[in-house]
């Protein structure tokens, strides 16, 4: 896991499709740092801004949950019902198709194919428009049946639909922001998307209470106000990013052009399977949410509060993972597979330590987190059970999560998909069975969630050790 020696570096591949000169001098120096020299410094340079931004986004979600708690238990349960679906869209756009975009851009730039990297941005925009529209239509058409299946009843179901309809009205700008940000991350430019998100988060935190509870001439819109505020943020952010990336000032440029099947394949060969992998944890959460719903609305609200911590850890891991993806993709594009492998293990180790520390703290003092949302004993008790049983295994989540991003950068995502499948089967499948069929209680369900994390990390580590992710025979991009 040490720093790479200069012997790691091999000449970067010449363009196969008419590349132009490399980036601006400052960006060229970052590109050089990604390909040569110490590993930790460029990893942290890429990871820290993205991590801070994603933590800010998660805190916005936590604040939104806190605001909802003032509207009552049914409103809190309604947000908990919609939250897994919102996270599904988030993870598919950021960690699914977004990873395909970032990986393709990173490998193109590593192989010095700048024209391809620029063209990939336009392809990302087209994908965002198409997939965002699908999400909006599906959410409006299937929302009532979906939230009912997840345990929504009466007031909780009404609250879920009120919130969901406004959130998913903004699916297209949501996808645009995340795929454009992914293209910038793949090029090593993390500060601009970070700035956009931080400004948006600050505005959201100020505006949201006013539209939820009413302020001056602004009427109280309840949960609809929270959904509306989110949609307006993404509309503004999407318009700004589109203008910035078309201006020529970004690391990669948005220019309109024909859709090329080879570039779509380059995105989707990583993005599709990774998107399916993104479905797995969210499908798992939906099934577990449904199983918890069998124990009543208090259990559902308590589980929703506790599992929010899972999603607060994800931004830390995602920021680290996207940095690993960019570094691995750039080095694989340049043919430097051994350096890419060391980056993967370094990132995985950092993920294990960071997530593990948070998990141990939560397991030892779960009330510190839970009492921020509720002090009602019937709501807090199931949340405490969840954190005491599952949180000690968060380190394994961190290890497997970051190694999966390394695999995305390398362009080999089958084994992380199989690792996610094993987690889904154990945590959701077996967990639902013991809760719904064996009537074993919430503790048994949560134990299966923990067992799923063991399987997830185990499969990914075995694949790394067996050489299934970094294959020496893989040719540099463009050869």
CB atoms within 10 A of CB 135: 20
Rounded (10°) CA dihedral 229, 231, 233, 236:
-140
DSSP symbols for 48-78: HHHHHHHHHHHHHHHHHHHHHHTT-HHHHHH
pLDDT digits (tens, 9 = 90+) for 146-178: 888 877 777 788 888 888 888 899 999 999 999
Q: How far apart, in whole angstroms, are the C-alpha atoms of residue 373 and residue 367?
A: 10
- Residue 129, token pair as written in the block: 């428009």
pLDDT for the residue 476: 42
Residue located via tokens 């194919």 = 113
Say which DSSP state 250 is in. Answer: S
pLDDT for the residue 30: 64
pLDDT for the residue 460: 93
- The pTM of the full predicted model, rounded to 2 decimals, is 0.72
CB 140 within 8 A of CB 165: yes
**Parts of the chain with a pLDDT under 50:** 1-25, 473-479
């Amino acid at each position: 896991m040490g720093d790479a020696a200069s012997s790691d570096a091999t000449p970067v591949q010449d363009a196969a499709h008419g590349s132009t000169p490399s980036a601006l001098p400052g960006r060229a120096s970052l590109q050089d740092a990604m390909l040569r020299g110490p590993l930790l410094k460029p990893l942290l340079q890429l990871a820290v801004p993205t991590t801070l931004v994603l933590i800010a986004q998660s805190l916005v979600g936590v604040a939104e949950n806190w605001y909802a708690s003032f509207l009552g238990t049914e409103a809190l349960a309604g947000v908990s019902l919609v939250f897994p679906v919102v996270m599904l869209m988030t993870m598919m756009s950021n960690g699914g198709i977004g990873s395909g975009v970032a990986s393709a851009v990173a490998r193109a730039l590593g192989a010095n194919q700048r024209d391809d990297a620029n063209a990939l941005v336009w392809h990302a925009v087209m994908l965002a428009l198409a997939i965002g529209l699908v999400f909006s239509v599906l959410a409006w058409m299937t929302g009532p049946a979906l939230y009912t299946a997840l345990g929504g009843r009466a007031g909780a179901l009404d609250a879920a639909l009120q919130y969901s309809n406004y959130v998913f009205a903004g699916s297209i700008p949501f996808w645009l922001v995340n795929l454009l940000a992914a293209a910038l991350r793949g090029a090593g430019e993390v500060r601009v998307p970070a700035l956009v998100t931080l400004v948006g988060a600050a505005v959201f935190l100020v505006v949201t209470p006013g539209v939820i509870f009413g302020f001056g001439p602004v009427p109280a819109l309840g949960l609809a106000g929270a959904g509306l505020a989110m949609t307006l943020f993404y509309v503004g952010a999407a318009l700004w990013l589109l203008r910035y990336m078309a201006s020529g000032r970004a690391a990669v440029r948005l220019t309109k052009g024909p859709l090329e099947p080879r570039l779509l394949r380059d995105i989707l060969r990583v993005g599709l399977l990774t998107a399916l992998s993104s479905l797995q944890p969210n499908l798992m959460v939906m099934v577990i949410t449904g199983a918890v719903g069998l124990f009543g609305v208090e259990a559902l609200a308590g589980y929703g509060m506790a599992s929010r911590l899972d999603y607060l850890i994800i931004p830390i891991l995602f920021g680290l993972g996207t940095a690993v993806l960019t570094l691995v993709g750039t080095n694989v594009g340049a043919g430097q597979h051994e350096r890419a492998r060391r980056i993967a293990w370094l990132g995985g180790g950092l993920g294990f330590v960071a997530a593990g520390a948070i998990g141990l703290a939560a397991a030892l003092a779960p009330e510190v987190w839970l009492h921020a949302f509720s002090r009602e004993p019937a709501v807090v008790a199931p949340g405490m059970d969840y954190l005491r049983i599952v949180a000690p295994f968060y380190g394994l989540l961190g290890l497997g999560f970051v190694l999966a991003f390394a695999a995305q950068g390398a362009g080999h995502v089958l084994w992380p998909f199989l690792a996610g499948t094993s987690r889904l089967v154990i945590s959701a499948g077996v967990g639902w069975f013991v809760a719904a069929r064996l009537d074993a209680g919430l503790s048994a369900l949560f134990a299966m969630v923990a067992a799923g994390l063991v399987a997830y990390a185990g499969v990914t580590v075995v694949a790394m050790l067996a050489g299934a992710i970094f294959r020496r025979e893989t040719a540099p991009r463009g050869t």
